[in-house]
């Protein structure tokens, strides 16, 4: 049946896309100190041990980052000898990441591209620990579906003789 007008049908579909969010999060790593006082603390590195993402809603992801701070320090042993030692401090930093606009996410995990830096913050006498401020920066990219409307036109029917 031809009415002289083009006929089309609207179909709902989805377009695959990736949402990338910039990350800049801080946390604290506490290194409990025993009876031997330490001094001359120097941070030698910071590494991301693991990153986990968990979808909380269509626009919110919980990101859990485990970071390890490496450092050297000097200590005076009970016999009076000074020693230089290497140690590590591990911490977990959690934060909610809002991804806009809200989209439908695939069941594929998000891809983090993160790094960390640490600075020595001093001794906290209330908890008896050396403290480090850990900063996590980078991006987290999540695959998603973006809603779209596609116009589909009926194909003309050719007649064969």
Q: Look at residues 160, 67, 59, 157 and name the one whose alpha carbon lies nearest to residue 112.
A: 67
Indicate whether 2 pLDDT > 50: no
Give the residue, 36 or 51, on which the prediction is more confident.
51
d(CA 126, CA 65): 26
Burial of 57 (0-12, 13-18, 19+ CB in 10 A): exposed
Indicate whether 8 pLDDT > 80: no
- 80-136, pLDDT tens digit by residue? 888 899 999 999 999 998 877 656 666 678 899 999 999 999 999 899 899 999 999
Q: Binning pLDDT at 50, 70 and 90, where does residue 1 land?
A: very low
Give the residue, 86 or 155, on which the prediction is more confident.
86
d(CA 161, CA 159): 7
pLDDT at 49: 96
CB atoms closer than 10 angstroms to residue 15: 11
Burial of 66 (0-12, 13-18, 19+ CB in 10 A): middle
Mean pLDDT within 3-31: 74
pLDDT at 62: 92
Cβ pair 118, 134 in contact under 8 A? yes
pLDDT at 51: 95
Q: Which long-range contacts (CB under 8 A, 24 or more apart) does 77-80 make?
A: 77/36, 78/36
d(CA 144, CA 104): 6
- 40-71, pLDDT tens digit by residue? 999 999 999 999 998 888 778 899 999 999 99
**What's this model's pTM, rounded to 2 decimal places?**
0.76
- What's the alpha-carbon Rg for the chain, to the nearest Å? 28
Q: Say which residues have a Cβ less than 8 Å from residue 126's Cβ, sequence separation at least 6.
A: none
Q: Does the CA dihedral 33-34-38-42 come out positive or negative?
A: negative
Q: Binning pLDDT at 50, 70 and 90, where does residue 7 land?
A: low
């Amino acid at each position: 049946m031809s009415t002289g007008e083009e006929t089309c049908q609207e179909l709902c579909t989805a377009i695959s896309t990736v949402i990338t969010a910039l990350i800049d999060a801080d946390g604290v790593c506490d290194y409990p100190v025993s009876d031997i006082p330490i001094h001359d603390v120097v941070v030698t590195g910071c590494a991301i041990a693991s990153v986990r993402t968990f979808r909380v809603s269509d626009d919110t992801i919980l990101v859990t980052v485990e970071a390890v701070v490496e450092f050297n320090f000097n200590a005076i042993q009970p016999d009076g000898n000074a020693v230089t030692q290497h140690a590590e401090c591990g911490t977990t930093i959690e934060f909610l990441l809002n991804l806009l606009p809200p989209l439908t996410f695939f069941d594929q995990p998000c891809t983090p591209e993160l790094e960390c830096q640490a600075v020595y913050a001093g001794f906290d006498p209330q908890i008896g620990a050396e403290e480090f401020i850990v900063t996590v920066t980078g991006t987290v990219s999540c695959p998603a579906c973006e809603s779209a409307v596609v116009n589909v036109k009926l194909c003309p029917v050719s007649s064969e003789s």
